[in-house]
Amino acid sequence: MTFEPDAPLSRPTQPWWRRALGWRPKLSWSGTAAVLVPKGRWKRVAAVLILIPIVYYVGGGLWLHRIDDRPDFEPQNVQPGESRAVAVAAALITREVDDHHWTPMDPFFLPGAWLDNMPNYQAGIMKALARFGVEMRDQLARSRGSSPQDPDLDRAAARLNADPRQWVWTPSMSIWPSVTATSQYRDGRAALIAYNKRLAAGQASFERRADNLQAFLERVASDIGSTSAQIDRHIHDHGGDLLDFYADNLFYANKGQLYAYYMLLKELGNDYQSVLRERDMAGPWAQMMDTFRTAATLQPWVVVNGAADSQFLPSHLVAQGFYLLRARTQLREVADILRK
């Protein structure tokens, strides 16, 4: 009796889709790497991979960075009857949001997110413009306390108060997507322009009265007074620190605020020219504007927060605070003259 060997069992056929999912390349990692990057060039590849983010963030940041504190900046094509202060507010929004790129809201993967001075400077400008929008709605554009608020100014005041850091999705502020700060600022600018056009057509109100200007100056004085308190607190807590990474943030935020107020007050001087002439205020107003201009254009190469009585290190916050308080005092003086 003979025994025949068993025939080899045939492997069951798999469906084509299972064979496709189960396919694996028959190359080891070392073999694949050798094909993609020839031996001896790994150091060059590593150097390139390190240089790319450095060039992207550092080069991009240097290209974006700009502290635009030109004192001669002014609005263009202002029509007769329009408010020059409203026009310069709209022009500042255009310049910072569209012309220079709005950096405070940049997410981490954009070069602007790693900038320091420019975002604080831009946020300071918008802080002053937001205050101006509120005062226009509540005071300057109302003939009396019982008169209705202008709808365009109401929209502008709401939009300009948006958080400057608001991006499409900012988890630190909300887990839900939202309207970006730039979109809201552009909408606020459009509302300011619409109001100005209606003002020129005689369809809106802008009360060029001494008491309105006086009230606005007092609001500005109160606003920069709170800014001086922040400077004082930081100098008290950190003056003379060898490494102070917050001093420049505070300095440039204050600088942006003072610059925007300088621009607004300069154009309000044109809007209220007849009031200033009647009260013989050319001298006090010019002195106040000189102080604001000096405070707004301070720009040290490196912000140093030395002790107030230091022999070797300056304190740029002390210098800024001096001009800020001088401007506040002059605001009060001009407001007192307008009150009489």
Distances from the Cα of 116 to the Cαs of 81, 113, 238, 251, 301, in angstroms? 40, 8, 19, 11, 14
The distance from CA 288 to its chain's CA centroid, rounded to whole angstroms, is 25
- What is the Cα–Cα distance from 198 to 192, expressed in whole angstroms? 10
**13: helix, strand or coil:** coil
- What is the Cα–Cα distance from 130 to 19, expressed in whole angstroms? 64
Decide if 21 is inside a domain: no
Model confidence over 95-144: pLDDT tens digits? 999 999 999 998 888 888 888 899 999 999 999 999 999 999 998 988 76
The distance from CA 122 to its chain's CA centroid, rounded to whole angstroms, is 3
**Whole-number pLDDT of residue 50:** 83
Decide if 20 is inside a domain: no
- What is the Cα–Cα distance from 125 to 255, expressed in whole angstroms? 8
Longest dimension (CA), the chain: 135
Decide if 293 is inside a domain: yes
Distances from the Cα of 19 to the Cαs of 8, 22, 53, 102, 273, in angstroms? 22, 5, 41, 53, 85
- What is the Cα–Cα distance from 142 to 153, expressed in whole angstroms? 11
Distances from the Cα of 305 to the Cαs of 45, 119, 241, 252, 322, in angstroms? 42, 20, 7, 13, 14
Choose between 50 and 35: higher pLDDT. 50
Q: Which amino acid, one-letter code, is at 234? A: H
CB proximity list for 61: less than 8 A, separation 6 or greater: 111, 112, 114, 115
Number of domains in the chain: 1
**Whole-number pLDDT of residue 11:** 55
Model confidence over 55-90: pLDDT tens digits? 877 888 888 889 999 999 999 999 999 999 999 999
Decide if 14 is inside a domain: no
Residue identified by tokens 């056009």 is 197
**Whole-number pLDDT of residue 155:** 96
Cβ(86)–Cβ(195) under 8 Å? yes
Residue identified by tokens 């889709």 is 17
Q: Angle 289-292-298 (CA atoms, 0-180°, nearest 5)?
A: 140
For the entire predicted model, the pTM comes to: 0.85
Does residue 209 carry a pLDDT above 70?
yes
Domain residues for 277?
65-339
Tokens standing for residue 294: 């000096």
Choose between 152 and 53: higher pLDDT. 152
b/e string for 80-93 if b means 16 or more Cβ within 10 A? eebbbbbbbbbbbb
Confidence of residue 26 (pLDDT cuts 50, 70, 90): low
From 311, 323, 320, select the one nearest 287 (Cα to Cα). Answer: 323
CB proximity list for 50: less than 8 A, separation 6 or greater: none
Decide if 12 is inside a domain: no
Residue identified by tokens 């981490």 is 108
Decide if 25 is inside a domain: no
Confidence of residue 316 (pLDDT cuts 50, 70, 90): very high
Cβ(192)–Cβ(90) under 8 Å? yes
Model confidence over 225-269: pLDDT tens digits? 999 999 999 998 988 887 888 999 999 999 999 999 999 999 999
Confidence of residue 36 (pLDDT cuts 50, 70, 90): low
Q: What is the mean pLDDT of the chain?
A: 87
Decide if 38 is inside a domain: no
Decide if 254 is inside a domain: yes
